[in-house]
Structure 1
Amino acid sequence: MSHLVIDIGNSRTKIAIFDDHKLVKNDVLEDLTEEKLRDYLKENSIQQSIISSVRDGIERLENVLIEQTVYIRFSAALNTNINNQYKSPETLGLDRLAGVIGAKALYPGENCLVIDLGTCITYDAIDNDNVYKGGSISPGLNMRLRAMHELTGRLPLIPLDDFDGSEGNNTGTSMLSGVVNGTFLEMAGFIEQYRAQYSELRVILCGGDANFFDTRLKNSIFAHTLKTEPDLVLIGLNEVINQQ
């Protein structure tokens, strides 16, 4: 049975087709319009669908999916195998919830820390008994660069793509070094914090900026527990469909 899975983030939209548990097709779009979605459904035979969105105003997309598929409205109230102990589940980002569901689908019986490096960076742990209590949110790489530019008088706006890994030797490279290396040290600190809590911990990277840290972390003391899963949120959403 074919499932259409859509993850609408702050900066981009990922859309994928699963055949039961197998990912068979995925695309990254700057934006998903109602027209694009109808075209996508015409080109592919879809039985069930689901959306995770960090934005409001997706009702038109939902209506298209309701018309043409069996649509599952994803929310923290939906019955899953996760023991969700987040104290305000109605405010929990659905991408965060989908990420931990995806982590348990890939690594059942393990303690997992999901680090999603998107517009914001989120840290979410779920234990080997499927208990999820919450996590942390911090600014993403580009947000940090924009903040230094917008909240100061003279610092320029530096593209993240200009980072070459070297120590800063002018204002621009110093900003990049501070952002990338500062974020790496932040991540290392969170990993150590959770490792102290869990004797065995699987660390999973996902999100658009995961590539900046994959090699750095794999060259560190965390290498043996680290996995990069770029489609983790999509896998989690598909798992929700399979659980209904």
Structure 2
Amino acid sequence: MRTLVFDIGNTAVKYGCFEEDGLLEAGAGLTPEQVSATVARLRPDHVLVASVAAAAAQWTTPLRPLVTGRVLEFAPATTALPIQNAYATPHTLGADRLAAAVGAAWLRPAGDTLIVDAGTAIKCDWVEGGHTFRGGSIAPGLRMRFEALHQFTGRLPLVEMPADGQAPLALTGDDTQSAIRSGVLNGAVAEVNGLIEQYRAFSPQLAVVLAGGDARFFQPRLKGHIFVIPELVLLGLHRILVHNVEN
């Protein structure tokens, strides 16, 4: 079975094409027209669209004539899942967070997992025992923090991410730009490491999975063993689609 899943985010459209459970192709930055062209080119049996931005129906309607099987709009509150969702307000839950949890549970079906998804926002979410999504935390992402300092102050400049995200970070900035960079980047790393430490305090065998566009920045700076799985959300969407097709 070939599946094609689309993750419509706040800043990009990502896709993943799977043959059984193997990822054949992935990409990002698609327009609606390119989404349709990708479906026509890859000829999947089934398609799933998840959106945290525009309504998923805006994307799925043009795809239905191109797909012989199911075209599923992922709705966290109502779509059938292969795990339990213990979130108190599932109708407010971002599709990407729940999809990442499904992906983590499929990869590690018998243990606790903390997902650190570092993108537009930094989301730390807990999957208990490989079977239940418990929720977690949402904080501003790195670029959002830089932009907030610039927009909500009178004189602070807009500072960009360093060109080499893995270069050493100065702890003490000796000018305004380097001070902002230290505060944002070192502060975010300390924040995430602190959350990991708290989760490990009550789950010593916890696995930490890192995903998202800023995973490369965080990878060398997080404490303990970290699994880096950039395509975790896409994998979770694929497993949700397979679950709905097979059940």
TM over 0.5: yes
Q: Give the Å deviation of 1:32.
A: 2.4
Counterpart position of 1:36: 34
Counterpart position of 2:152: 151
Q: Which amino acid aligns with 1:51?
A: V
Identity in percent: 36
Counterpart position of 1:61: 59
**5 Å matches for 1:54-133?**
54-69=52-67, 70-76=70-76, 77-128=78-129, 130-133=131-134
Counterpart position of 1:241: 241
Deviates more, 1:126-135 or 1:183-192: 126-135
SS in 2 for 1:160: coil
Alpha carbons of 1:38 and 1:81: their partners in 2 closer, same or farther (altered >3 Å)? Answer: closer
Counterpart position of 2:169: 166
**Unmatched 5+ stretches in structure 2:** none
CA displacement 1:52-90 (0-9 Å, x = unmatched): 111023423111222222112212222212111111100
Deviates more, 1:184-193 or 1:70-79: 70-79
SS in 1 for 2:162: helix
Distance 2:239 2:232 in 1: 10
Q: Which amino acid aligns with 1:37?
A: V
* Cα-Cα RMSD: 1.4
* 8 A contact 1:165–1:177 mirrored in 2: no
CA displacement 1:81-127 (0-9 Å, x = unmatched): 21111111001001000000000111111100011101111111011
Distance 1:91 1:183 in 2: 25
Counterpart position of 2:143: 142
* 8 A contact 1:108–1:128 mirrored in 2: yes
Distance 2:130 2:38 in 1: 38
Q: Give the Å deviation of 1:129.
A: 5.0
Distance 2:136 2:121 in 1: 13
Of residues 49, 52, 62, the one that matches 2:50 is 52
Runs of at least 4 residues off by over 6 Å: none
* 8 A contact 2:57–2:73 mirrored in 1: no
Q: Which amino acid aligns with 1:207?
A: G
Q: TM-score, normalised by structure 1?
A: 0.93
* 8 A contact 2:104–2:130 mirrored in 1: no
Of residues 201, 206, 216, the one that matches 2:206 is 201
Distance 2:239 2:193 in 1: 29
Distance 2:92 2:141 in 1: 20
Q: Which amino acid aligns with 1:233?
A: V
Distance 2:111 2:101 in 1: 12
How many residues are treated as equivalent by the alignment?
A: 237
Alpha carbons of 1:166 and 1:73: their partners in 2 closer, same or farther (altered >3 Å)? Answer: closer
Distance 1:214 1:129 in 2: 23
Q: TM-score, normalised by structure 2?
A: 0.91
* 8 A contact 2:200–2:206 mirrored in 1: yes
